[in-house]
Amino acid sequence: MDSPTLSSAAVKAAAATVGFDACGIAAATPLTEAEWGYAEWLHNGYHADMVYMEQHRDMRANPALLLPGAQSVIVLLLGYKPSRRMEGTARIAQYAYGEDYHERIKRMLYQLIAAIRQQLPDFEAKPCVDTVPISDKQWARRAGLGWIGRNTLLINPTLGSYCNIGELVTTSPTDHYDTPLESRCSDCQACIDACPNQALTQTAHTGIPLLDATRCASYHTVENRSPQLPPTVHLSGYAFGCDCCQIACPYNQEAAVRYTLTDERKTQLEDLAQADSATFRHITKHTALNRIRHQQWLRNQSAANARE
């Protein structure tokens, strides 16, 4: 039996009702190396010791390997730009200020599936949030939600790069697929100039933006499990993640605020600099900060203070 055809307008209306900030739909045809640069990124070792990025390479490019018979990829954005930034000697990347986006977006994706099934009971979809092997940024680009900036992040005209991405891979076709946007970065190099570690580069022949994780402060403070961080990596005061390339982006300076950082939460985050292990676990529960242990937090904080 053929899968029901989706109304693009109805899906986007349902996504807005659920609470997503933007929605686009792309045909589930495989990504090509010419638009992606993934093979070159791996070949250059820019994934550092994230061995999991070498796995499921075909699946990352082809949604039909995630869900047999996939016809469409519904891509959703959720903005996270805060009303203000935290201060102190152990700063945290802004995406980690509030609730863990994995949990929030997954919950919202299931709500969206339920909403679509009210109109189309046979609707079949696989929800994807970051940990599923799918190239989130590339599918968002394909779905017309933005372009890949020189900081290698998706830049949405309204949200900037302050947005998290989720997808519904579905066997349903749609009555309209969105058109990718052309890059609007022009000759701007603000993100490249702002990176304290020169971690932003590009593919050799096609100029696709690439991130060298071996140089990236965000990689080292989140993914690197070594007892000591490389002495050559500058953290710019960050103990979790890094926002240097994002803060410099003109689109982010004008981006819409989507998260209110209250006085209470701001103080709580800044007080993590003095938190013991139990307090750290309590405060970081259900946030992206729970990706690291307290010992890593202490390591990062020490390095951030020493290299300020």
pTM here? 0.96
pLDDT on residue 7: 97
pLDDT on residue 135: 95
The C-alpha atoms of residue 280 and residue 289 are separated, in whole angstroms, by 9
pLDDT digits (tens, 9 = 90+) for 3-47: 889 999 999 999 999 999 999 999 999 999 999 999 999 999 999
Radius of gyration of the chain (CA): 20
Residue 193 catalytic?
no
pLDDT on residue 200: 98
Averaged pLDDT of the chain: 96
H-run or E-run covering 17:
helix 8-18
- Residue 192 three-state SS: helix
What residues have CB less than 8 Å from 140, skipping those under 6 apart?
Answer: 24, 75, 77, 146, 154, 165
CB 51 within 8 A of CB 8: no
Proportion of the chain above pLDDT 90, given as a percent? 94
Catalytic residue among 49, 122, 130, 271: 130
CB 298 within 8 A of CB 111: no
Instruction: Label residue 208 by pLDDT band (50, 70, 90).
Output: very high
Instruction: Label residue 172 by pLDDT band (50, 70, 90).
Output: very high
Indicate if the pLDDT at residue 1 is higher than 80. Answer: no
pLDDT digits (tens, 9 = 90+) for 183-195: 999 999 999 999 9
Long-range contact set of residues 268-276: C-beta below 8 Å, sequence gap at least 24: 269/86, 269/92, 269/97, 270/86, 270/87, 270/88, 270/90, 272/90, 272/92, 272/297, 273/88, 273/89, 273/90, 273/239, 273/301
pLDDT on residue 20: 98
pLDDT on residue 205: 87
Q: Which two tokens stand for residue 51?
A: 């061995």
Handedness of CA 234, 236, 240, 241 (dihedral sign): negative
The C-alpha atoms of residue 133 and residue 284 are separated, in whole angstroms, by 25
Q: Which two tokens stand for residue 152?
A: 């290698």
Q: For residues 92-114, give the mean pLDDT.
A: 97
Per the listing, tokens 């970081």 go with 284
Q: For residues 126-143, give the mean pLDDT.
A: 95
Instruction: Label residue 87 by pLDDT band (50, 70, 90).
Output: confident
Instruction: Label residue 276 by pLDDT band (50, 70, 90).
Output: very high
Indicate if the pLDDT at residue 307 is higher than 80. Answer: no
Q: What one-letter code names the amino acid at 253?
A: Q
Indicate if the pLDDT at residue 273 is higher than 70. Answer: yes
Domain ranges of the chain: 8-82+99-170, 190-306
Instruction: Label residue 2 by pLDDT band (50, 70, 90).
Output: confident
Q: What one-letter code names the amino acid at 308?
A: E
